[in-house]
Homo-oligomer: A and B are copies of this chain.
Amino acid sequence: MAAVAGVSRGTVSRVLNGGHNVSRPAAEAVRKAIRQTGYVVNQHARSLVTQRSQSVAFVLTEPQERLFEDPNFSLLMHGCTQALAEHDITLVMTIAGMPDERARVARYLTSGHVDGALLVSTHRGNPLLDALAAQDLPVVACGKPIGYERRVAYVGVDERDGARQMVEYLTGLGRRRIGMITGPLDTAGGIERLAGYREVLGAAGDESLVVTGDYTRASGEAAMERLLAQAPDLDAVFVASDLTAAGALTVLRRAGRSVPGDVAVGGFDDSSIALTSQPALTTIRQPWARISSEMVRLLLGLMAGDAPSAVTLPTELVVRESA
């Protein structure tokens, strides 16, 4: 390659890396030779010296199905891809749902393939976090990573306040028997959204009105059925995710309860499903674009040597038809 262009490897390298300190004719010759030979740098050789791979992983620590069911992940990943592209960094996705996959992924991530990792949907005690932290890989989580709040950077929304907004809105509508379908209680979103609900309802809180879900659509169906059995007189439900709320809607329809007439339904996320569900969901908007750009900003910071920090973003009530 250097031979074809009639210059030294050093000069080739210089034009490849910005072209500083290279004469016009030399740069031209190199570019021409690259076109002729179809030369592509060997990323390993480059990374071995730069200590950078110019790529970052988007790690999903969830059974695979969730990714494909929940439209939020898509949004988040797209936003991150865009933001990283501006810095000439490629995003690759990796799934570590099962324990054995986790070990493999941990090895992949820590052995230099990537310069950092964006972690999505982290449950309490996620073992991957230990492995990554031990190797000092820059990591930023989406949502507060319980148990690692201090050591791992993250960006999340004010979950509790979002829940509060929704429950206050339902209360304001005159609803008195307000149920809740929570998220998984080993995640910040699961815990905090429930806390917000309790904060508003206070002593009025009735345990038969609360059922635990796990953010999936299926859990929304199951939980709604239980809720209808335990508290047939409920006139509203706050559901911790739109996808789960869509499941609840199906059950409500089947049970002959009109929404919002008989039962008002409030979701969380403002994901695409909120618009396509029947009726369209009143929900709490998470600023996905902002979340992804902040995640990337923090990650780039960590890669540059910054200490881990946390960003908390506000949410917003979006009123549609379901409540």
> Chain A residues in contact with chain B, CB under 8 A?
38, 40-45, 47-48, 53, 55, 57, 64-65, 67-68, 71, 73-74, 77-78, 81, 85, 90-95, 100-101, 104-105, 107-108, 110-113, 134-135
Contact B78 A74 (CB under 8 A): no
> Smallest distance from the beta carbon of A135 to chain B beta carbons, Å?
6
Contacting pair A57 B92 (CB below 8 A): yes
Q: How far is the CB of A33 from chain B (nearest CB, A)?
A: 16
Q: Tell me the number of copies of this protein.
A: 2
List residues of chain B with CB within 8 A of the CB of A57. 92
Residues on B with beta carbons closer than 8 Å to the beta carbon of A91: 94
Complex Cα distance A85/B101, Å?
8
Given A48-B42, A64-B77, A85-B100, are A94 and B94 neighbors across the interface (CB < 8 Å)?
no
Q: Which of B43, B90, B101 contacts A112 (CB 8 A)?
A: B43
Instruction: Decide if B111 touches A42 in the complex (CB within 8 Å).
Output: yes
Contact B40 A107 (CB under 8 A): yes
Tell me how far the C-beta of A264 lies from the nearest C-beta in chain B, rounded to whole angstroms.
Answer: 25
Asked if A55 and B85 sit within 8 Å, CB to CB, the answer is no
A237 to B41 Cα, complex, angstroms: 52
A40 near B104 (CB under 8 angstroms)? no
Closest to A45 in B: B48
Give the complex CA separation of A47 and B134 in angstroms. 23
Q: In the complex, what residues of B have CB within 8 A of residue A95's CB?
A: 77, 81, 93
Find out whether the CB atom of B48 lies under 8 angstroms from the CB atom of A44: yes
Cβ of A89 to closest chain B Cβ, rounded Å: 9
How distant is the Cα of A78 from the Cα of B64 in the complex, in angstroms?
A: 7
Q: Are B44 and A135 in contact (CB under 8 A)?
A: no
B94 adjacent to A38 (CB under 8 Å): no
A201 nearest CB across to chain B (Å): 34
Q: How far is the CB of A223 from chain B (nearest CB, A)?
A: 18
How long is the Cα–Cα vector from A42 to B57 in the complex, in angstroms?
17
Contact B90 A43 (CB under 8 A): no
> CA of A42 to CA of B95 in the docked complex: distance in angstroms?
22
Separation in Å of the A206 CB from the closest CB of chain B? 33
Q: Are B90 and A93 in contact (CB under 8 A)?
A: no
Q: How far is the CB of A4 from chain B (nearest CB, A)?
A: 17
CB atoms of B40 and A111 under 8 A apart = yes
Per the bound structure, the CA–CA distance linking A57 and B55 in Å amounts to 13
How many angstroms from the CA of A44 to the CA of B94 in the assembled complex? 19
Partner among B85, B94, B108, B135 whose Cβ is within 8 Å of the Cβ of A93: B94
Q: What CA separation (Å) do A269 and B240 show in the bound complex?
A: 33
Contact check, A71 vs B68: say whether CB atoms are below 8 A apart: yes
Q: Given the complex, which residues of B lie within 8 Å of A107, measured CB to CB? A: 40
Cβ–Cβ contact A53 & B64, under 8 A: no
CB pair B92–A40 under 8 Å, yes or no, is no
Query: Which chain B residues lie closer than 8 Å to A112 at the CB level?
Result: 42-44
Choose among B53, B65, B104 the residue that contacts A44 (Cβ–Cβ < 8 A): B53
Residues of B within 8 A of A108 (CB): 55, 90, 92
